[in-house]
Amino acid sequence: MDITEVLFTNDATKRIGGLKVYLNTSSVPVSISDSGLATFASDVALDFSAVTGIEAYIATTDGSTITLARKNKIAADTGVLLRSVSGDAINKDVPVTTAASDDVTGNIFVRGNDAAVATSADGKYNWILSKKSGVVGFYHANGNNVAKNRAYLQTATASARINLNFDDEDATAIEAVKTQNVENGQYFNLAGQRVAQPTKGLYIVNGKKVIIK
């Protein structure tokens, strides 16, 4: 009989050859920088429901708009976007869970593989969370490396921009947009790009967050 899975009592992640190693640990450390946003993926299922200051979101799309849906119990290997509620850097230990995970059907976050990710491949287009000109948003992957504890967005269309809609109004305090320099009366999406004809979604107008329903 081949042994392919081993249980260690250890707090460090280990991989030995082709063995898949499960660790007997009660929590996983999670960090978000001062941008207030981070992508994340874990080897084990996590429960964010009792964690203060951090919220986890999956992403779904209707082909033109990406909607971020908050989830609490995240299955292993599931890519998510983490948001610091205060918009500041934060470090938390998130409990491991064996409870049933929340439904993540249609999630377009893909877990990284410690390898370079091309902007397009096999008819798909990839986007990584990054900062350009002081603006945090999702930009073309352009061959950048995505670590195994991070994730990237994968869409079916090569949009010129990505508009992000949060599915609950309580999740609109995204401090990552505070560095944007917006012009009077103009609408900008969360990637810092001007929107001439805004539709439903979350925008920045005169430095403030505005929801169009």
Could you report the per-residue pLDDT of 65-76, keeping only the tens digit for each?
Answer: 788 899 999 999
Is residue 58 a part of any domain in this protein? yes
What does the mean pLDDT of the chain come to? 78
Is residue 3 a part of any domain in this protein? no
Is residue 207 a part of any domain in this protein? no
Coil, strand or helix at 181 = coil
Give the pLDDT score at 210: 67
Distance (Å, whole) CA 41 – CA 76: 7
For residues 38 and 202, the model is more confident at 38
Quick one: DSSP state of residue 79?
-
Is residue 136 a part of any domain in this protein? yes
Give the pLDDT score at 206: 66
Q: Give the CA radius of gyration of the chain.
A: 18
- Work out the average pLDDT over 113-118: 95
Domain coverage including residue 60 = 27-172
- pLDDT grade for 18, boundaries at 50, 70 and 90: low
For residues 175 and 142, the model is more confident at 142
- CB 51, CB 89: distance < 8 Å: no
CB atoms within 10 A of CB 31: 14
For residues 86 and 174, the model is more confident at 86
Is residue 19 a part of any domain in this protein? no
Is residue 142 a part of any domain in this protein? yes
Is residue 156 a part of any domain in this protein? yes
Q: Is the pLDDT of residue 78 over 70?
A: yes
Cα 11 → chain centroid: 24
Q: Is the pLDDT of residue 119 over 80?
A: yes
- pLDDT grade for 198, boundaries at 50, 70 and 90: confident
> Per the structure, how many domains does the chain have?
1
Give the pLDDT score at 9: 39
* Cβ-based burial of 134 (10 A; exposed 0-12, middle 13-18, buried ≥19): exposed
Q: Is the pLDDT of residue 31 over 80?
A: yes
- Work out the average pLDDT over 51-74: 89
Both tokens of 110, joined, read 């893909």
Is residue 180 a part of any domain in this protein? no
